[in-house]
Amino acid sequence: MTVLPLAREARDIVRTTCAYCGVGCGVLASSDGQGGATVAGDPAHPANFGRLCSKGSALGETLGLEGRLLAPVIGGRPAGWDEALDHVANRFAAIAAAHGPDAIAFYVSGQLLTEDYYVANKLLKGFIGSRHLDTNSRLCMASSVAGHRRAFGSDTVPGTYEDLELADLVVLVGSNLAWCHPVLFQRIAAAREARPDMRVVVVDPRRTATCDIADLHLPLAAGSDVALFNGLLLHLHDTGVVDRRFVDRHTVGLDAALAAARAATPDVAAVARWCGLPAADVARLYAWVAQSERTVTVYSQGVNQSSAGTDKVNAIINTHLLTGRIGRPGMGPFSVTGQPNAMGGREVGALANQLAAHMDYDDPVAIDRVRRFWQAPHLATGAGHKAIDLFRAIGTGEIKAVWVMATNPAVSMPDAGQVVRALQACDFVVVSDFVRDTDTARLAHVLLPAAAWGEKDGTVTNSERRISRQRPLRPAPGLARPDWWALSQIGRRLGYAEAFDYHGPADIFREHARLSAFENDGARAFDIGAVADIPASLYDGLEPFQWPWRAGESGLQQRLFGDGSFHTPDRRGRFVAVTPRPPCHAATEAFPLVLNTGRYRDQWHTMTRTGRTPRLSAHRPVPLLAVHPDDAARFGLADDGLAHIESRWGAAVMRVQTTAEQRPGTVFAPMHWTGVLSAAGRVNEVVNPQADPISGQPELKATPVRVSAVATRWQGFVLSRQPLAFDCRGYWVAVRGAGHWRYELAGPEAPVAAWERLEALATAAVTEAEWLLYRDPAIGRYRAALLHGGQLQLAMYIAPDAAGLPSRIGPAALFSEARITPGQRRSVLAGRDPGRSADLGPAVCACHGVGRDAIEKAIATGCRTTRALGERLRAGTNCGSCLPELRALLAGVA
């Protein structure tokens, strides 16, 4: 293997990886010495070859200390680590003693590095002995894991990113790649540019930005993917597009799969009915797939986040097994994960139904193996609660203590209101995060300050099984520490000093690698034995590599299953007979629309990072409910008006964006906004908590809702140098701007009442200030700017409608000014710069605002008397006090 020089020796440029999606791009970062960093894509990284998306490019802007959690907090007061760790360990010990180890749960995250993940898994399952460790990856790719395991016998992505470029046909299913995995999208777009024959099909209820490069868009009905791919399986089979040799020698179960498909969707017409698609479009997809040996089917949350997610995954994989289009260049099913290290979590076994390193509870030998490897006498021996059930168990009191790491379930879980209530009722909630204020942190008894991107040191695995180093640019600030350290400290305090005697991430990584190889005869796909004994220096310089990489092997194997060798006991791949079924909850008369949720291009998860940067906040500053114009008309929604979105589970309020890109009968809302950043923008309050029965992944993309217009009598916005605390009346959304926070507001009361409330808020927030005011009560227009120390501190604007509000851009820019000039004072209120130049020369006629320059010009062009000047310029025609000056100017010329 090649070894890079130590990061810090490379003239301060650190090779690391991006903190966001599952593409796992390489990043070259250098600290700017002022708390930020400059970042660029790493041209040598095989995930991105130098490309970065908008989020990755802005990583350097997310490193500020504003809002950081810099010390442990116990019951709202800052504390030292020793006290906090003692407290947590004592509480855990007491709860385990009183209620058994299963009364303790960890809810962890795809944001953790593999090393953090590994220690969390080992501590809870191995030593505390609880089964209940699950991860937010449950929300993002559990269905892919389950589908992979059903078909392949292991959770393995067969292909590599290069396949996306080598394919003749890329079918993107439930994936807005352009926004969610932008670098992969760019790679496909570039390949398509180079090979115009290459085709791209987008299968998505929405017409997304990804459709820009699509030759065909199939806006199928929510949850109908199984019907579409069952139909494809039949079509391929019936038209003889079958790799008979591959099927016969390397798979089982085809007949049952065909039978199941034929039963529900015997022909294209039936598929078209199921999916709500034109039959011709379905037929075109099928014909293209039939023609294209090199077909890659990329799928993401639109497939996974479904009560039929696992079946959808298998319906897709079935078509690749049938055609033998798997594990060879330019072909294969391809799950792209949401999070930077969802894959790493899967590798360490950090899902409630996994044990460790691709070993599961259903194999007693594996349980014994892990117990022996860890020397863990209390090892949990059965699957724990998956995320939804885990929070239900917290709500019922079955689980008494939970440690939440690097995730924000109060926002991201479906039926989020219930999650909040469960955490409120929980005896002991520990939250590790790098930010102080999150919806979940507000419910914690203990907060532990975690290291953030740029400080973390470890590894992540991307969607093509590539393990890359994440390296620190700077030491963690304050008392922030890596999660593995905090976990190990708890392990030691609970009496397992030896098992958690880690001195750095390299120790953990080696142990993880050793476990992957431990008694692994090749039956377990995940094996990185080749790096099990690397010294710390090699670990520091570790180049990106794909697993498996067994000890003694070259590590160059890029694709799996092309040889037909799967990880099932009989080494054969499995067709899975799947039957299409609609989402759990159908639209009803009372809840006639289907709510879909997803990401925005420039935001990430619950915005704890991306929400900190003005640049990324500019794309979509507030959450929008996308509604087809016909539905908007039907339900009385106006574009840019407010909508109340309500389901059986909860409600949210968002601005309406009418768009023909939305399938009629469906609405779409972003998943990102939180209770910290908005009054009611937390869409998961609305989302149903149904989950796939196999994967436990929630059906985040199909919730029956009703929508209604929210009557508002005023709208407005506040710009403030300091963050403000709004009470929850009405509508508000916080938006990060340069040097300020912006609050978009609206409410039901009279503008003047809203204004009085804002005045009180501003008075409390900026105690000493010069106030500039603009009031036009007859039309409900109120504005104010507060200045102090020559700088704009706060500006606020209210009007009955958007037409009465200025652009946000002008006043927002003034927060970057060192001093507000006298001329800019009124610009703050106007929301823009003034027009004509005020420079008319010294005023002569004050009444009519006529300057000397204008008068001299008039004289020069023929005005010879005061009367003529008055007729031309009106100068001197009101009070006449300037007449002597006018005469003097006239005399001066004469």
- Check residue 835 for interaction with another protein (CB under 8 A): yes
- Check residue 778 for interaction with another protein (CB under 8 A): yes
Calculate the alpha carbon distances from 496 to 82, 95, 518 in Å: 17, 17, 22
Q: Decide: 515 and 531 in contact? Cβ < 8 Å.
A: no
- Check residue 651 for interaction with another protein (CB under 8 A): no
State whether residue 658 is helix, strand or coil.
Answer: strand
- Check residue 371 for interaction with another protein (CB under 8 A): no
- Check residue 167 for interaction with another protein (CB under 8 A): no
**Pairwise CA distance, residues 498 & 210, whole Å:** 51
* DSSP string over 322-371: HHT-SSBTTBEEEE--SSTTHHHHHHHT-STT--BTTB-TT-HHHHHHHH
- Check residue 837 for interaction with another protein (CB under 8 A): yes
* DSSP string over 673-702: --TTTBSS--GGGTS---B-TTT--B-TT-
Closest CA to 120 of 481, 460, 483, 517: 483
- Check residue 879 for interaction with another protein (CB under 8 A): yes
Q: Which residues pair with 645 in a beta bridge?
A: 652, 707
Tell me phi and psi for residue 333, to 5 degrees: -75, 145
Q: How far apart are the first and last CA of the chain?
A: 93
Candidates 830, 852, 856, 872: give the one binding another protein (CB under 8 A): 830
Shortest Cβ 53–another protein spacing (Å): 30
CB-nearer residue toward another protein: 819 or 826: 826
Candidates 849, 856, 857, 872: give the one binding another protein (CB under 8 A): 849
Shortest Cβ 58–another protein spacing (Å): 24
CB-nearer residue toward another protein: 753 or 846: 846
**Pairwise CA distance, residues 349 & 343, whole Å:** 10
Shortest Cβ 886–another protein spacing (Å): 12
Closest CA to 156 of 330, 17, 332: 332
- Check residue 802 for interaction with another protein (CB under 8 A): no
Closest CA to 174 of 599, 490, 587: 599
- Check residue 530 for interaction with another protein (CB under 8 A): no
Shortest Cβ 814–another protein spacing (Å): 12
Q: Decide: 799 and 787 in contact? Cβ < 8 Å.
A: no
Closest CA to 738 of 179, 20, 64: 64
CB-nearer residue toward another protein: 70 or 883: 883
Q: Decide: 245 and 598 in contact? Cβ < 8 Å.
A: no
Shortest Cβ 639–another protein spacing (Å): 24
Q: Which stretch binds another protein (CB under 8 A): 266-274, 320-328, 685-693, 825-833?
A: 825-833
Shortest Cβ 758–another protein spacing (Å): 16
Candidates 99, 371, 436, 874: give the one binding another protein (CB under 8 A): 874
Strands 77-78 and 104-108: unpaired
**Pairwise CA distance, residues 409 & 432, whole Å:** 12
- Check residue 775 for interaction with another protein (CB under 8 A): yes
- Check residue 773 for interaction with another protein (CB under 8 A): yes
Q: Decide: 481 and 81 in contact? Cβ < 8 Å.
A: yes
- Check residue 816 for interaction with another protein (CB under 8 A): no
DSSP 8-state assignment for residue 127: I
Candidates 848, 852, 857, 872: give the one binding another protein (CB under 8 A): 848
Calculate the alpha carbon distances from 112 to 49, 63, 356, 456, 482 in Å: 24, 17, 16, 9, 10
Q: Decide: 594 and 705 in contact? Cβ < 8 Å.
A: yes
Shortest Cβ 788–another protein spacing (Å): 10
CB-nearer residue toward another protein: 563 or 833: 833
Q: Which stretch binds another protein (CB under 8 A): 554-562, 670-678, 687-695, 842-850?
A: 842-850
- Check residue 881 for interaction with another protein (CB under 8 A): yes
Candidates 367, 380, 787, 854: give the one binding another protein (CB under 8 A): 787
- Check residue 891 for interaction with another protein (CB under 8 A): no
- Check residue 803 for interaction with another protein (CB under 8 A): no
Q: Which stretch binds another protein (CB under 8 A): 507-515, 588-596, 602-610, 778-786?
A: 778-786
- Check residue 852 for interaction with another protein (CB under 8 A): no
Q: Decide: 802 and 821 in contact? Cβ < 8 Å.
A: no
- Check residue 833 for interaction with another protein (CB under 8 A): yes
- Check residue 826 for interaction with another protein (CB under 8 A): yes
Candidates 503, 571, 819, 832: give the one binding another protein (CB under 8 A): 832
Candidates 10, 651, 738, 847: give the one binding another protein (CB under 8 A): 847
Which parts of this chain interact with another protein (CB under 8 A)?
A: 770-779, 781, 787, 810, 822, 825-826, 829-830, 832-838, 843, 845-850, 867, 874, 877-881, 883-884
